[in-house]
Amino acid sequence: MPSGKRSSYRKAPLTRSKRRRASRKKVRRGPVMRFRFSRLILIWIFSLILCFGAYLFNRNFHPEKDVFVKPAPGEESSAAAEEIVPEEPAESTPDEAAEESSEGTGEETGEETGEETGEETGEEAVPEGSQKVNPVPEAEPRPQDYLARCAFVGETNIFNLGEDNLLQPYSVYASETLNLENYTKEYVLLNGTTIRILSALRAAKCPIYLMFGTESLSTLPADQTADYFSVMLDSVVATAPESTVFVMSIPPVTADAERAEENPILNSVIDDYNSRLLEICKEKNIYFVDVNTALKNNEGKLDGHLATEDGKHLSLEGGMALLNYVLSHVPAEVTLSDTEQ
């Protein structure tokens, strides 16, 4: 019979391998990482957002770069040339330096010195006989196809010429939001492509007509607006050196536009601004087309039938009057060969 004492028998301790087997039986482990298609979609969406953000950053903070616009021929080579760092000149001995200074002092005097000074200041002397007559006088009217060979750049008034089918779409470089303050960043729709006007004008070899100021004069004084225009004019001339540039005076406004509660504009301010444009064109030897005077009535204002409801912009009839004036004020030296695109 068994005694009442506890047995001293103990089970043998489990080895490591037995413990591992036991734990594996108790815990069923799944795969370390499971593939989920939803996570892949989230990663793709985040990547798309980051790329779009980088694109917007580049377009807004680097407006001079048009990623979708093909550069004009020769532009890439010129850009590469600008990146080349010129080599430092070799050090010359005191004797050589003295000889160079004496030669420069003796030879570079008189007219040559004056010409170099003019080039450094950016004011090129206009040859005699090539000074343009401003405002452009009336001449024999050009045919309608002359307009199709020109580029019209401007604000809402130029934009409306395209909307009213008075100009071909490829001749209109304008938008309702374009002005003198944002022309380097604002995009215009040209031939189905959004592009900045300076980038579009790089390949232009046709007469360019500029009309800017109506939108800016609602908030800026005439002298500051004219300064903005002068800077833009220099940019256009430098961008399209082979084109003949015409500056058009901005049209008058109606009496109601002068009395408007929001952003009124006075014809006296417009006249002051146009006078400043005329002086700028005389200084830079650029053609000035005075459409303002042609569109004024006896009171010095714009008739209601020539204006839209706001009284500041031209209607269909007003646009036709403007273009008829342009056709009858083209200098004789601007030949058809100059208008080939």
Q: What is the CATH number of the domain that holds 173?
A: 3.40.50.1110
Cβ neighbours, 10 Å, residue 41? 10
Distances (CA, A) of 159 to 152, 156, 168: 9, 5, 11
How many domains, in total, are found in the chain?
1
113 found inside a domain: no
Count Cα atoms within 13 angstroms, Cβ side, for 255.
Answer: 6
58 found inside a domain: no
157 found inside a domain: yes
Give the chain's end-to-end CA distance (angstroms, integer): 124
183 found inside a domain: yes
Encoded tokens for 189: 């729709």
- pLDDT at res. 15: 74
Task: Compute the distance between CA of residue 322 and CA of residue 182 in angstroms, rounded to an integer.
Answer: 25
Task: Compute the distance between CA of residue 249 and CA of residue 273 in angstroms, rounded to an integer.
Answer: 9
92 found inside a domain: no
153 found inside a domain: yes
Please state whether the peptide bond connecting residue 71 to the residue before it is cis, i.e. omega within 30 degrees of 0: no
Task: Compute the distance between CA of residue 228 and CA of residue 238 in angstroms, rounded to an integer.
Answer: 16
- pLDDT at res. 335: 76
- pLDDT at res. 340: 47
Encoded tokens for 296: 């004024």
Best CA proximity match to 156, nearest among 212, 83, 233: 212
Whether 200 and 209 have beta carbons less than 8 Å apart is answered as no
35 found inside a domain: no
- pLDDT at res. 162: 94
Cβ neighbours, 10 Å, residue 308? 17
Residue 331 sits in which domain range? 145-339
Best CA proximity match to 239, nearest among 276, 269, 208: 208
324 found inside a domain: yes
Whether 222 and 269 have beta carbons less than 8 Å apart is answered as yes
Best CA proximity match to 229, nearest among 169, 188, 273: 273
Give average pLDDT by consecutive 10-residue segment, the chain, 341 residues: 55 69 61 66 86 74 48 40 40 46 42 42 56 93 94 95 94 92 89 87 88 93 96 94 95 94 92 97 97 94 94 95 96 69 41
- pLDDT at res. 112: 42
Whether 223 and 265 have beta carbons less than 8 Å apart is answered as no
Query: pTM, whole model, 2 decimals?
Result: 0.66
State the virtual CA torsion across 104, 107, 111, 115 in degrees, nearest 10: -30
Task: Compute the distance between CA of residue 106 and CA of residue 103 in angstroms, rounded to an integer.
Answer: 5
Task: Compute the distance between CA of residue 59 and CA of residue 263 in angstroms, rounded to an integer.
Answer: 31
